[in-house]
Structure 1
């Protein structure tokens, strides 16, 4: 590994004296330092404790030695899911998908203990449109008015009252063309004004000066009403999931349009504001449309995109008799031809020309929204925001605390604006290496059609994976985790439940305030946000519902997550397993090393783990290698084509739903779902069309195989190991009671250890969490920590029986390994005959460490602690206790201590704060 640093501190407590042997090895850029210290055990000459301090960003290095009761303490620099890399922005499509390290995009293979920054996606529209970078051309043909074709009648018909008879005039027919995306140009400002015919504004090359177009409204007023639904139907929904109607689902109505006559179903992001015959200007639909009104002899254009301004330029024949409309600028060239230009912004309709057309050529460009356009929209939106904030500040002064501000807004019935995370540019790009484009912010009441404003809800239908669009932020690592959580809709609903009850939630939402509960830094936290969202083209730019813009939960969840980390930029790029833990509170572990080793191992242990995980309904994610690119010579593009050839997507995340083993056939199968719920087209072994399902009906029956099911698919274990490069598991469980105890290490000693008693065998999971470094400037490394479980011996001593590892389900029995990671977990089966146990948080002290190191201990159990035969008491332990110095046996010198803790039952999404010497 480049600049791979490894340090070992080995303690040999077998002798009375100390050796100061110092060894340095230089292998290229691989540096190791060994410090060997011999000490004497007070008892048991055969015990040998070895403390290993590894600074290793990519692999576990286990050094096994043959000693009786050999104990190894291993300090691993575990970038266990979490390098925060600021997101690189491209001038036009803000994000490039890839692993980011130090500002450079890298194709990083997933490794256990390695930083896994899930790749940031490019703007999908840009990727798609770049494939069509070809100059458009129009065929010319001689026609007469009497003999013109149907399309020519549309394009060259008389649009003026005066008829000009030129039977040999060239007519230029507009056909759909391939989209030509050009780099965004800096436009020279020209005076504003009505559309004009301009014969003088030439540049020094004899051409027309760059076209400019003023923006006067945040949302351009329509001249014609939107298509109205023929009726409103109730939405079918299982109300048992919202029995107290906290989210007002009983009053949801869905607009139903006339399928035969409605244009609403034809367009993706709005509808034209002018009636006439429609022609798509490009091969791809939902980009730019030309509208021709034969009766009024008028042309108009409608832009059905969200993120592109369409630059429309036509050169009409010299015998054309036209007047420019509204924002159209027209210039008569020296040869008599007329050049007309207009910009069509997202979701808007621009009137173009009126009159008689006698031949034309055209040039159409899709250009990413200019900085001037975005800035002007932002300025227009800020007028309302500043007014609302001024009203609030009159009441609260300099107070910014969201709870206090929200309380006063409720008392005075004012629209809530979150002063902690205001709708401004800083909330977008704080911490980014390059600034984001300036964006306007708006509430749903501003960007939605009037008939949908009173239908705004968090949820407007069943929650399903993939029922939302991640947008253009580049936080696919978060969004794919949200999709995984949405496999169980109740888990999403719980995140939005109000701690004070349904009525309190309704009152807050009525003034634009929302709460989302996360587990951050080990503690449950309710995050308050307003409903202002970054907007592009009249719709939310980032996460949003892809079936109904009046459904807000994806946008609000993403905004609350961004607030929790300081900005939207701070959540660009990351590990899906970290996001899963923040969303659910359940411990997560990566298994990249085991996954890589499985392909060349004859053992079946790893696959059997998968069988157990899926039967227990734990959430498992797999990722494919690569990143999105348009470079024809790129290895990533070649990889993407290879994966598409077998029906998979490179640089993507998939959810593991089942793992099945058929011993009689030595067959291992895995069932997967695309985390976005898109159709799966896997065409390899055991795909939907594979005849093996017919050859082996017993396998099909056991797998509940349905040939027509396209949202999920099966593949062989061998194919899985071939096409995926790693992943992890979230130890989720629907019936766990969750407890959180904020604590701290003082000079390496924990402020609280835990005495556990059980009356019957009980599984519990303990987690030690440090403060997340995401969004924290200047914070580089986590402290090396470990969890130890000890049980009593017959001679009033305790013995450490298990220590935490990088895999919660496989703790270590004979090694002491400290992991430098955000979260470390340990699953243990507690037995009555070995009670009471002690669970001891550990910190390895290193140079430069602060005197106090805060952390949180979380533990979960499928029984109610304090009842159901399970008790957990809070204790203190002396700093000189031998267990704090890596002795396996020690005296239980502990005393009771008071502690604050959170309790969250499985049916609630928020926690209750309690205090005591034990959980009750």
Structure 2
């Protein structure tokens, strides 16, 4: 037995509860009935917390020592104590009863008063309370009451989103409660959102007049700062088109109120609004109802590295934030871009409908990153499905790849499991981040195909053991147990609504007691209450159908060069020479097809490949080509139909290399010169150790006909647009022949 790897990641308003990716009810109307004949029976199941159990000074000391751990524990503790998703209930304490599996509507009885709380943003609750003969009941302002022929008293009321309505009070002799929910009608929504949307339109028009003929976002923002005018993004304005584009997006949304945080927050919180407030933790992410769990999983994994989040938000200034403007960094199509946003968000009942920070409504980073992703791809509707690893690549500028096929082979053939286990341990040791995924509703994997006959039962199986389908989980540690002949994964589950893993090797399970040495190595003596859990290889294969790897870049030096393919010929290659042996990650990216019109040349990926050759006299000999796996570059020509390809490669001291972007002829489209970006990433400083120049190679070179040895000729230096991004710094763009 041994530990082959140990990779650790190093009272606010409201309570969050991550929603499902679909609306809470498949049908238009849901009804639940509860009947209690004996009024002495308690209808309470959970109770809201009355206060903090720890002393203030102890809490402050913990926050000072490890603010991330303190925030995680505070969120997890509150999630256990509070059943509400939005936390807008105005009644503290009392006997709380939930009438739907997903929460939604709650009845709170306190001091003889019966309250109904609607913990949704989408539903109207029709509440009917029947009280037995002898009950002495008084109604409240919003409640209608009548005494029926059988001497039962009927009270009924309509409760709208985030309302807490006191229905009745008095002595009860038995009761029945029936609650029906239905989607809000359009007229109610229009009326509720009208004032906010009129204000958004007026502010948009004000900025439009201020901008005049200007189209440059930075110039428009400068004018807003100079005149103290609330900034509005005229390229992604706060209107229905930001939610879904007519004729482009298949999904539509009901009416929402476009509001700034300073408009929907209580007055005493407005001065607190900022992108980041305190420690960044994945547990603070509340999904909202967009249905982009893949993107939220990506943000949660990214938030394991607090620096990565701060790096994305580093360009904004206090003066810009004061007028509601934020700058976010994103890597799109292999190139670093700055996304300029206003702080308008889709809301209802003065609450963001989509992603938000669950434990501090004044903290904006989750909402802003989601909005930036929506803007880049055209609308919120355009980002409702995808791969968490691709979103990670966009935010981190990282290369990623999936090992779903290898996982399935290893899961079905025990002789292949050790090979994959060794690879995952090695990757985790090297600093790469490993993730595992559960099958989504469209999955056709060896696990996903089992859900076709009983999709509800399939999801219920995951829910029962504390997991969710269609989610991606960050792997904190990978431990090989030689004696037990198994592999243990320590995964992070920051999602409140999914419960806690309760299978083998869960905290407190018999496996730890039977293997005290393993327990010590894994530091699993007690549950750290941070959402982490351990799972063995056997169970992982039964619940996860694959995963992937990405390479964090917050500590990496990052160089990018732009070019395009003229037919299959690249306009720019790189000539590289190192003064000492240097390991680098070489990447090739083409335009993403998400959000692109089907008539656009980028609507289909081209087969691409990156070739590295080394100079031999006046010839160049191919050393490696990219494959689907950057850890395993190939000697063969493997064109991959994908957004990005790459390889780890060691540059030998004194040698001259060519890095040649390649595209298969099947990717050629008339009237379209496909852009590309070549990247060089290194965890070691490259300045003074590596020289890289942008060059042009002859179009008749045999490298384009897959020769392993070709005449290098005399490649000519060319002016190329390139970027340099150093750790903790914003990217710098230049045009020259010298890249490094």
TM-score scaled by length of structure 1: 0.67
Residues 412-448 of structure 1: CA deviation (Å, up to 9, x unaligned) = 1011111111111111122432421111121112222
1:441 corresponds, among 229, 233, 258, to: 258
Consecutive unaligned residues of structure 2, counting only runs of 5 or more, are 1-18, 75-80, 443-447
Distance 2:32 2:456 in 1: 20
2:387 corresponds, among 575, 579, 585, to: 575
2:220 corresponds, among 405, 410, 415, to: 405
Deviation at 1:128, TM superposition (A): 14
Residues 380-427 of structure 1: CA deviation (Å, up to 9, x unaligned) = 211211221222222113645432321111011011111111111111
The 5 A counterparts of 1:743-754 are 743-754=563-574
1:618 corresponds, among 414, 428, 432, to: 432
Q: Does 1:602 align with 2:415?
A: yes
Residues 750-806 of structure 1: CA deviation (Å, up to 9, x unaligned) = 11111111121111111111111111121531111110000122x421111211101
Deviation at 1:727, TM superposition (A): 1.1
Residues 834-888 of structure 1: CA deviation (Å, up to 9, x unaligned) = x1011100111236444521111111123343x2321111110010111112111
1:421 corresponds, among 208, 233, 236, to: 236
Residue 623 of structure 2 is matched in structure 1 by 801
Residues 276 and 788 of structure 1, relative CA distance in 2, 3 Å threshold: closer
Residue 277 of structure 2 is matched in structure 1 by 460
Deviation at 1:712, TM superposition (A): 2.4
Residues 683 and 327 of structure 1, relative CA distance in 2, 3 Å threshold: closer
Q: Does 1:671 align with 2:490?
A: yes
Aligned to 2:310, the other structure's residue is in SS state: helix
Deviation at 1:901, TM superposition (A): 0.6
Residue 891 of structure 1 is matched in structure 2 by 711
Aligned to 2:435, the other structure's residue is in SS state: strand
Residues 275-320 of structure 1: CA deviation (Å, up to 9, x unaligned) = 99966564577734467898xxx98755344443222346799999
Residues 232-281 of structure 1: CA deviation (Å, up to 9, x unaligned) = 99988989999xxxxxx9xxx9xx9xxxxxxx9897645567x9996656
Residues 282 and 914 of structure 1, relative CA distance in 2, 3 Å threshold: closer
Distance 2:454 2:588 in 1: 40
Contact 1:269–1:306 (8 Å) recurs in 2: no
Residue 22 of structure 2 is matched in structure 1 by 122
Deviation at 1:577, TM superposition (A): 0.9
Residue 828 of structure 1 is matched in structure 2 by 649
Residues 871 and 583 of structure 1, relative CA distance in 2, 3 Å threshold: same
The 5 A counterparts of 1:390-789 are 390-397=205-212, 399=214, 401-430=216-245, 431-498=248-315, 505-599=317-411, 600=413, 602-603=415-416, 604-627=418-441, 635-644=454-463, 646-662=465-481, 666-674=485-493, 676=495, 681-709=500-528, 711-778=531-598, 779=600, 780-789=603-612
Q: Does 1:919 align with 2:700?
A: no
Residues 890 and 175 of structure 1, relative CA distance in 2, 3 Å threshold: closer
| Larger deviation, residues 844-853 vs 891-900 | 844-853
Deviation at 1:608, TM superposition (A): 1.9
Aligned to 2:252, the other structure's residue is in SS state: coil
Residues 471 and 272 of structure 1, relative CA distance in 2, 3 Å threshold: closer
Distance 2:252 2:319 in 1: 36
Contact 2:294–2:470 (8 Å) recurs in 1: no
The 5 A counterparts of 1:252-263 are none
Contact 2:573–2:658 (8 Å) recurs in 1: yes
The 5 A counterparts of 1:257-272 are 269=86
Distance 1:299 1:607 in 2: 56
Deviation at 1:450, TM superposition (A): 2.0
Q: Does 1:903 align with 2:724?
A: yes
Based on CA coordinates, which of the two structures has the bigger radius of gyration?
Answer: 1
Residue 85 of structure 1 is matched in structure 2 by none
Consecutive unaligned residues of structure 1, counting only runs of 5 or more, are 1-96, 98-119, 142-148, 152-173, 179-226, 243-248, 257-263, 499-503
Contact 2:463–2:498 (8 Å) recurs in 1: no
The 5 A counterparts of 1:67-82 are none
Contact 1:767–1:826 (8 Å) recurs in 2: yes
Distance 1:571 1:557 in 2: 12
Aligned to 1:765, the other structure's residue is in SS state: strand
Contact 1:306–1:538 (8 Å) recurs in 2: no
Residue 445 of structure 2 is matched in structure 1 by none
1:388 corresponds, among 193, 196, 203, to: 203
Distance 2:94 2:546 in 1: 49
The 5 A counterparts of 1:805-824 are 805-813=627-635, 815-824=636-645
Residue 309 of structure 1 is matched in structure 2 by 124
Distance 1:685 1:279 in 2: 35
Deviation at 1:679, TM superposition (A): 8.2
Distance 1:677 1:282 in 2: 17
Distance 1:687 1:136 in 2: 35
Distance 1:176 1:890 in 2: 79
Residues 165-215 of structure 1: CA deviation (Å, up to 9, x unaligned) = xxxxxxxxx96799xxxxxxxxxxxxxxxxxxxxxxxxxxxxxxxxxxxxx
Cα RMSD over matched residues? 4.2
Distance 2:92 2:482 in 1: 66
Residues 872 and 490 of structure 1, relative CA distance in 2, 3 Å threshold: same
Distance 1:583 1:663 in 2: 37
Distance 1:348 1:854 in 2: 52
Contact 1:291–1:302 (8 Å) recurs in 2: no
Deviation at 1:708, TM superposition (A): 2.6
Residues 414 and 832 of structure 1, relative CA distance in 2, 3 Å threshold: same
Contact 1:617–1:733 (8 Å) recurs in 2: no
Distance 1:685 1:422 in 2: 50
Deviation at 1:889, TM superposition (A): 1.1
Residue 33 of structure 2 is matched in structure 1 by 135
Residue 160 of structure 2 is matched in structure 1 by 345
Deviation at 1:374, TM superposition (A): 2.0
Distance 2:567 2:502 in 1: 58
Contact 2:434–2:550 (8 Å) recurs in 1: yes
Residues 266 and 576 of structure 1, relative CA distance in 2, 3 Å threshold: closer
Contact 1:465–1:677 (8 Å) recurs in 2: no
Contact 1:276–1:291 (8 Å) recurs in 2: no
Residue 190 of structure 1 is matched in structure 2 by none
Contact 2:159–2:165 (8 Å) recurs in 1: yes
Residues 691-744 of structure 1: CA deviation (Å, up to 9, x unaligned) = 554555544444344333353233333433343211110022543100111110
Residues 315 and 714 of structure 1, relative CA distance in 2, 3 Å threshold: closer
Residue 9 of structure 2 is matched in structure 1 by none
TM-score scaled by length of structure 2: 0.82
Distance 2:196 2:146 in 1: 34
Contact 1:371–1:437 (8 Å) recurs in 2: yes
